[in-house]
Chains A and B, each alone.
Chain A
Amino acid sequence: MTGPTTEQQRQWDEQGYLLLAEAVQGEELDRLQRIFDHWAAACKDDWLEGIAKGDSTATYYDLPNPLEKDEIFIDLVDHESWFGLLQRFTDGETLFIGPQVRSVPPWPLSYTGWHPDVGPTNPLHIKVQIYVEDVAPGTGEFGYVPGSHKPGSGPYARPQRQESMPGYKTFPGKAGTAIMFNSYGWHTAMDNGGSVRKSIILIYEKRTPAKVSPEAFAAIENYCTSPERRALFGFEV
């Protein structure tokens, strides 16, 4: 496991995010793309039915139970490109909360507005977003307000237009790019006027007893054999 460089630590503390270029690459990325597309196609009819019933949202499509679909999604959770960073930032107490294997269709708006996920009284909450395909500007790329994770920053308000957020930065990127961010900070997906955005969002927190939920991952427990992975999924302290 590789911890942050001095520059990465400074960037994380001051800006609240790290951009990890080529975090997934080569054969692993090819395989991830194939498996992502396979399962997205296989589960799509159920999603469309859920939309018609008013149970699913039409403006983004999350693969149901992705960890149970293919081991590659489990392997991403403690991927070497970011797990060491997570462990350092959580003082070795990283707890996995859940995945979002997400496809976003083009739409005149973003499916979400600017928001923080949690307030600063919540345990440290970190997300890693991995682009499965290239994400060009204007196609739902990740946006973040650097420094908005810090106590006393802001105040911030949700603007009507994504591009009206003061001080924001967007992150178009190549397939395999990962963005790790402190989700106390204000973030969004920018408007997607172009193509389907495919990404995976992994959600973590600094471990607290209230959030440990091994039953949520019972179906994949046999893939969790190392002490580090069992701790990550909440099977062991």
Chain B
Amino acid sequence: MARIDAHLHVFAKQSKEFPREESALAPADREETAEKFLAHMEQHAIDQAMLVQIGGAEITEHAYLRHCIDAYPDRFLGIGLVPGDCAEPEAHMDALAGEGGIVGFRLGSLGGPRDPFAPIDVREFASYRIWQHAAERDYVLWLYVQAADAHLIAHLVDAFPQVRVVLNHLGMCPGQGKFTVDEWGRPKIDTPAYSPAFHTTWRLTRYENVAVLLSGQYAFSKEAFPYRDLAGWHERLLRDFGSRRLMWATDAPWIYEEPGYGKYTRVIDELLPSISERERADIIGGTAGWFLRFPQRADD
């Protein structure tokens, strides 16, 4: 069975060929290329991966993602972004996905009422047209929404049972003001041990169209690798979602320096040491293969 890293980022230096936004994590002169990642894949027997857009949501800013997918079509699929103020999200999504390889879109907010007691009509959510179009075109939605939106996910998932949804990074939803960059240049999210996600995203187990990435441990843990303080979270996610809806991912390049890509390929063995071989195969690649429909490689 293929081994698939289900979530990581690649980006080039800012250039006319590959325009992008700069950020604290990805300054203009930093590059984390697909070729560098491919070397890690070769070294650690990773077959395929999901490249998640970083550096802007405009179509032109997806140039490097498009370049990588076109260069290595049997290795990579991609997740794009939709600008928050996009007047025609349907056209934007189709323009990115139409050339193949980009199979879905990542959302950071949903645009519904912040007050959980407010009347809910999903058709009034700012992201409704994105969900509706994803339903019509079979696009995957990749969710890493802010904490204030966590309770809105269930309403949309309930309204669109045909949309495949992937909850990023253990289903966590970062709180306002809780994001920093740590000494190794990695995202750090201050998260309580008893996370509110237990009663929002983790309750979505009923919906078979929802899967969860086992990733981002380094950002939420209070400990160094292998992040044993999160072992209980992994056990609960396995119990509630099952291995057929869990996907391992590294969130490279943030982990290249600490703890290193090689160690991150073993994080599931460290945090779920008692799983069966079948469960392990699901999490390390099987689930991503079927849920995200990775292409069969010629040498598989």
Residues of A within 8 A of B (CB): 48, 51-61, 103, 105-113, 158, 160-161, 196
Contacts and interface: CB of A to CB of B under 8 A. Distances in A.
Contacts, number: 83
B196 interface: yes
Contacts of B240: 113, 158
A105 B116 CA distance: 6
B148 A52 contact: yes
B239 interface: yes
Name the prevailing secondary structure of the B interface residues: loop
B199 A54 contact: no
A113 B191 contact: no
Nearest to A49: B176
Given A54-B173, A57-B199, A107 B116 contact: yes
Interface residues of B, number: 34
Contacts of A103: 117
Q: Which 8 A-B pairs have CB atoms at the shortest separation, nearest pair first?
A: A54-B175, A58-B151, A54-B147, A57-B196, A108-B158, A53-B175, A52-B148, A105-B116
B192 A51 contact: no
A59 B203 contact: yes
B205 to A, nearest CB: 6
Given A57-B196, A57-B199, A60-B199, A161 B148 contact: no
A159 to B, nearest CB: 9
B67 interface: no
B120 to A, nearest CB: 8
Contact of A109 (B175, B178, B196, B206): B206
Contact of A161 (B154, B176, B190, B206): B206
Nearest to B148: A52
A58 B175 contact: no
B206 A54 contact: no
Given A57-B196, A58-B150, A109-B154, A52 B114 contact: yes
